[in-house]
Amino acid sequence: MQMDKNLKIGIIGAGIQGVCCGLFLIKKGFEVTLFDKDEPGNSSASYGNAGHFSPYASIPLNRPDILTDVPAMLMSSTGPLALKWNYVPKMIPWFLKFIKNCSTKNMMHTAKYMHQILDIALPAYDELFEEIDVSGLVEKKGIMYIWNDQNLKSRELEINVRDKIGAEQQLLNKQEIHDLEPNIKKIYHAGVFYKKAKHARNPKKILLKLFDLFIKKGGKFNKNNIEIINFSNEKPIIKSTENSFNFDKILIACGAFSKKLTDQMNEKIP
């Protein structure tokens, strides 16, 4: 079914996701307005992050082996997982659902569809980057992960999953690591190289360049903290504390803050 090109679309969230979606919607001929409580790139997730364009990053956290790793993570003062113990009672319902989803079947289901999304995300970024100057901002040298283990046995699960879903990867031995990165000390015995991966040297600058392009192409930006979503005649009305805005369609792109809005529409997300 073809969508009416005269539709007015509101996007809540002016981070990299919201801005890129806005640009593609404008390309399709829609009238688009971005909403955010802050200026784009101002102390948001898109301001500072790892900046990876990673077609390989499709394996979810709900892996079968994660449950055996969690206790050690919690007990280690330098581990990647920290938990306030007085919060444990509140998180038990969520944790039980998480455990239920830590099966190979559920992991593969998520990995398969995440890979399909990521596989088209890089060409989509490239399409947008053709319209802005990203010289010096995007490195196209691939991404390498290295370990000082004698082999990659500890990484077997994710390597096998990526093979099954078709993610391109190259396993490296000690000499191959040194050939790719001569300045790395020869203490690393195994690694994986993702040739198609890229990374942003400055995520905020890229976001602002894309935002400027969005405005030049006729997109609008409204600095408002959207708190409420209602519907009238099946069309959304979004509201801040002072104003309300009518649209034909809306797109929610506020990351971790999206749940407060999706709950109002009975759309349950984690």
- Overall average pLDDT of the 159-180 stretch: 94
Q: What is the pLDDT of residue 228?
A: 95
Q: What is the pLDDT of residue 155?
A: 87
Averaged pLDDT of the chain: 90
Token pair recorded at residue 208: 């602002």
> Max Cα separation, the chain?
66
Q: What is the pLDDT of residue 1?
A: 44
Name, in order, each residue with C-beta under 8 angstroms of 136's C-beta and a sequence gap of 6 or more: 201
Q: Are 233 and 26 in contact (CB under 8 A)?
A: no
Residue 146: φ, ψ to 5°: -130, 150
Strand 8-12 to strand 249-252: parallel, antiparallel, or no bridges (unpaired)? Answer: parallel
Q: What is the pLDDT of residue 270?
A: 65
> What homologous superfamily does CATH list for 1-49+201-270?
FAD/NAD(P)-binding domain (3.50.50.60)
More confident residue, 151 or 23: 23
* Residues of the chain above pLDDT 90, percent: 67
More confident residue, 179 or 241: 179
- Overall average pLDDT of the 226-242 stretch: 94
Minimum mean pLDDT range among 3-7, 78-82, 188-192 = 78-82
Token pair recorded at residue 210: 């894309």
Q: Say if residue 242's pLDDT is above 90.
A: no
Q: What is the pLDDT of residue 183?
A: 93
Domain ranges (residues) in the chain: 1-49+201-270, 66-102
Q: Say if residue 150's pLDDT is above 80.
A: no
Minimum mean pLDDT range among 179-193, 225-239, 254-268 = 254-268
Residue type, 99: I
How far is C-alpha 113 from the chain's CA centre?
14
* Residues of the chain above pLDDT 70, percent: 95
Residue 166: φ, ψ to 5°: 90, 20
Tell me the C-alpha distance between 238 and 243, whole Å: 8
In this predicted model, what pLDDT tens digit does every residue of 178-229 receive, in sequence order?
Answer: 999 999 988 999 999 999 999 999 999 999 999 999 999 999 999 999 999 9
Token pair recorded at residue 3: 């969508």
Minimum mean pLDDT range among 38-52, 104-118, 125-139, 181-195 = 38-52
- Overall average pLDDT of the 18-40 stretch: 96
